[in-house]
Each structure stands twice: as C-alpha cells, then as structure tokens.
Structure 1
Amino acid sequence: MSVPTVLENILARKVEEVAERSARVSLSELESLAKAADAPRGFAQALLTQAKKKQPAVIAEIKKASPSKGVIREDFVPADIAKSYEKGGATCLSVLTDIDYFQGADAYLQQARAACKLPVIRKDFMIDPYQIVEARALGADCVLLIVSALDDVKMAELAAVAKGVGLDVLVEVHDGDELERALKTLDTPLVGVNNRNLHTFDVSLETTLDLLPRIPRDRLVITESGILNRADVELMEISDVYSFLVGEAFMRAENPGIELQRLFFPERGGPVVSGSTLD
C-alpha cells in the first residue's frame, strides 16, 4: 500500500501511541469504561434524517491546528465552539484528538460533547481496535476509518469492533480505487469523500462530483474539505449532496456558529441566538 510520507509518519507515531496507551490502561479496562459511557447519540441517523429532508447536514469540526497550516485557531475553547456550532445549526461535531500533528486531545472531545446534544465523531488515525474501544470510552458516537491508512482486512476488523461497541463508522476515500475498496469491504452508510489530494494537498470539489455516480444511492455521501462559500454549497446541493464536513472555514471565523449559519442557512438571517461566550 502506497501512502504519502506525512501519513506514513503519522501512522508510525500511532503505532507507538497505541503501545504507550495500552501499557497504561488495558483493553479490558477500556471495555469497562466503554460500557459505562453515555449511550451513543446516533451520528449516522442524525445525518440521514437531515439529508432526507434535503437540508444541509453539517459535521462541524473542532480543530486547533494541522500539519500543513500550523495553528488555525488561537482562541480555542472546545465547549464554547460546540455550543456555537449547535446554535448555528450543525447536525454533528467532529473533534480532532491527535496530539502530535493536530494539537488535539481526548479531553477536547469530552468537553465538546458535554457542552451540547450533538453526536460526535472522533477524528483521528485509527489503526488498532484499542483506539476504537477508547473512542467509545471517551463518549464518541462515531469513528473515522481512512482507507488510505488501512488494508482491507484491518478496515473490516476495525469496523466490526466499532459495531460491537455501538459506534457508527464514517469511511473516508480520496479516489476511485479507495472508493471501490470501501464499498466492497464495509457496509456503513456514511461515505466521506475528501477533496484534498493526499500527495499534492490541492483541493478540488470535482473529486466528490467525479466519484458521485459510483456511489450507491443507499450510501450517504459526505463531502469533506474545500467548502468555502455559498457557491460551493450550492454546487453540491444541485448534485444532490447535502452532507458536509467543514473545519477550517469555521475555525478561522470569529464566531464559528455564525459562520456556519451564514454559509449553510443564510435564509435564517441575523446573528446566532446569544448564549455562547463566542457571540
């Protein structure tokens, strides 16, 4: 399997991270914590319900930094951002938990989920069943499986573990080959198409539009990266894509929730209802 160097480095670090964490907290201990966690909030169902109404289903991302952009948001309080997103009309949240490359933290996921009623996906590089159980123990409602980071056997194994602990799965693809593997290996209804080329880091919404005809109608297409303005949103909606994962465009805004509303629900007009310290 050929993967870009940045991803290779991240995955190598994940192997070390899993070893370090499992030495501190055993898998059986994690499984007990997962069973005691709050019930899942229904990540996939929330998206499917919204998309069926042909209304924007927005997965709003809480992300402090990235390897390519460095720190994206200095004023970073996950609980306040989560509240702002909820008021702005988000359907779900995505929270980065990778420490070394995205300056994320497990606590950010817990803080964000506790501050709102939205389902949350743990956005990280999943390579081991330990991380899946850990996600549920943290309170996550869904996990991300990145096809370019996994072989088919591992992908199927992680999806089975996720199902066993009550987590939904969002599978992420970047091209036609990855899409074919995802559709063959997994039965999750959530298919994320990342518009960012992993080799060049260029972003093109054509990636989603090109792959769209190859995705069965019983799967929900989520377009990821590159949604920056109303024209981008309308381009997708014309093509019957109503589910979006957006991070950086919101994170760079003074008030992420108001930016979400401006981009996806302009007909509502006016500021987001006050109550968040970000208002």
Structure 2
Amino acid sequence: MTILDEILQEKRREVEQLLAQQAVQQEKRPSRPSLFDRLYQSERLQVIAEMKRASPSKGLIAEGAEPVTQAMIYDEAGAACISVLTDAPFFKGSFEDLAAVANAVSTPLLCKDFMIHTVQIDRAKNAGASVILLIVAALTDEELTELYAYAVVAGLEVLVEVHDAEELKRALAIDAKLIGVNNRDLRTFEVDLQRTEEIAALFPFHEKRVLISESGIWQTKDALRVSKAGASAVLVGESLMRSESVTTAIQSLQVAVQEVVR
C-alpha cells in the first residue's frame, strides 16, 4: 500500500464521520480576490504560502505553529494566496485552522486536503476557503468531474493537481484553469523539479490557464527554474515554515516571470 493509499483510506473514514454529523450551517463570508486573476498576468512569480505543521515524509515540521500568526506573516510578506492544510492524521491540520485564518486575512485562501466527497467541499467553503484542491491521482474521472463541477457551482476556484502527462490530460478534460504540478510523487513522496518541466512541455500556454509548481521549492534558483519552464506561481510550505525570515524567503522566490514561447 502506498502513502497515498493510506491517506485515502483514512479520508474515507473521515468522510463517513462528516456525513454522520449534523449539516454545518453555511456562514456568510466576504468574497476574496480571484487567485486565477492574481496569477494570470502577473509579471513576477507568485507565492502560495502554506501553513504546514507536519507531513508523512518529513514528520513534524513546525509542531507548535499558530495558523493565524503564520498567515498574517505570509500576508504581510506579499503571498498571493495562503494555503491551509486541513488533514489531521498526516499533516496535523484542521478545518478550525482554516476558519481562524479566514477571519484574519483577506487574501485568496486554499483549503489543502485530499478531497474525495462533496461534504469536504462544503466544510471547506463554510470555513472560509475560496479555493479547493482536487488531486487527479486520488480520483476517478467521474469523481473528478463531479467534484470540480460542485465546487465551481458553489463559487469556489479549483486548483487541480497533476503529476504526469496522463493526469494533465484528465485535468484539461474538465477544463481546469488552475493546474498545479506536484513535484512530489504522492505514492513514494520523492521530489523532482523536472516534473514541472515535463508537464510544462505539454501545457497549453496559448489557452487561458495557469501553471503552478508545487513542492521542492527552496531557493531563488528553484524559482528561476520553474519560472523558465512556464510556471506563474509556486506553492511553498516546508521551506517557509522553517525560514527565519519569511519575508526574505518569499521575496527571494518572486522572480520575474519568463516569457514562454510554444
């Protein structure tokens, strides 16, 4: 059983628990800026900064991290979007973390989780997310189509995550506008920035879509590499959580966007 299999097995149990609970009353929340609009024509590589206490591959990263404090630092440092991990067993996050951050900042807000059911999307929206993540590797075509449509109708943006050429085809088949390349293989948790370059070589940049590079971004040279490939943004968690100066770290990644000719 791969790490992804273990996570999805746990998610199915979590979904059963959520469905058994009383329906959450949807709160009225102020609208947030569009992440797509922020990224599409930006002249600099943008940073999606992640609140991340732990991961299956690295264990504890920042055990006592306080989500509101971290989010406000990210916001002040110029992050285009804040990502909050809401998975508890593997990443030590929660929907309560997401709601707390939603009340503290007005930037686009990504609920980072392994979504397999509409009830999770409802919880994410109610907690204040404006963007959700759908991982192609975790879903069948039918599930991907259903969850994407459900989120869009709910007024959410969707970051669709891929890892290889076949998954990119599946993301394009549902007309995803925000497409992230996870440089980390969720089955082995090995990281390789070449994944962004491989997907970028197949990416329809002439269409109105945005490519985001996720995982393994630590230094300016990494940002330059994925920007040269065609990424408009990077999703960064561990390196920011470990950084002594988040502002300096974020600014070091905001390199000029390279013009991609296809």
Aligned residue in 2 for 1:190: 178
Aligned residue in 2 for 1:252: 242
SS across alignment from 1:207:
helix
- The C-alpha deviation readout for 1:140-163, integer Å capped at 9, x for no partner, is 101100000000101110011101
- The C-alpha deviation readout for 1:109-158, integer Å capped at 9, x for no partner, is 11222222211110001000111111111111011000000001011100
User: Which among 186, 192, 196 is matched to residue 208 of structure 1?
Assistant: 196
User: Which among 119, 138, 149 is matched to residue 160 of structure 1?
Assistant: 149
Inter-CA distance 199–45: structure 2 relative to 1 (3 Å threshold)? closer
Q: Unaligned stretches of 5+ in structure 1? A: 267-279
Which AA in structure 2 matches 1:202? E
Aligned residue in 2 for 1:56: 45
Within 5 Å, which residues of 2 pair with 1:48-197?
48=39, 51-184=40-173, 186-197=174-185
Contact 2:135/2:161 (CA < 8 Å) preserved in 1?
yes
Matches of 2:227 and 2:121 in 1, distance apart? 32
Matches of 1:46 and 1:106 in 2, distance apart? 26
User: Which among 164, 187, 190 is matched to residue 199 of structure 1?
Assistant: 187
Contact 1:93/1:121 (CA < 8 Å) preserved in 2?
yes
SS across alignment from 1:214:
coil
Matches of 2:187 and 2:9 in 1, distance apart? 18
Aligned residue in 2 for 1:270: none
- 1:41 partnered with 2:38: no
Matches of 2:241 and 2:193 in 1, distance apart? 20
Matches of 2:31 and 2:130 in 1, distance apart? 5
Q: Unaligned stretches of 5+ in structure 2? A: 257-262
Contact 1:148/1:173 (CA < 8 Å) preserved in 2?
yes
Matches of 1:74 and 1:104 in 2, distance apart? 10
- Identity across matched positions, percent: 41
- The C-alpha deviation readout for 1:1-34, integer Å capped at 9, x for no partner, is xxx62111111111111111221223xxx3x41x
Calculate the aligned-residue CA RMSD, in Å.
Answer: 1.8
Cα distance, 1:175 vs. partner? 0.7
Which AA in structure 2 matches 1:238? K
Matches of 1:107 and 1:201 in 2, distance apart? 27
Contact 1:64/1:76 (CA < 8 Å) preserved in 2?
yes
Which AA in structure 2 matches 1:180? K
Contact 1:170/1:192 (CA < 8 Å) preserved in 2?
yes
Q: Which runs of 4+ in 1 moved over 4 A?
A: none
Which AA in structure 2 matches 1:210? E
Contact 1:81/1:257 (CA < 8 Å) preserved in 2?
no
Greater fraction of residues in helix: 1
SS across alignment from 1:221:
strand
Q: What's the TM-score once normalised by structure 2's chain length? A: 0.91
Contact 2:137/2:167 (CA < 8 Å) preserved in 1?
yes
Contact 2:211/2:230 (CA < 8 Å) preserved in 1?
no
User: Which among 206, 222, 229 is matched to residue 232 of structure 1?
Assistant: 222
- 1:221 partnered with 2:218: no
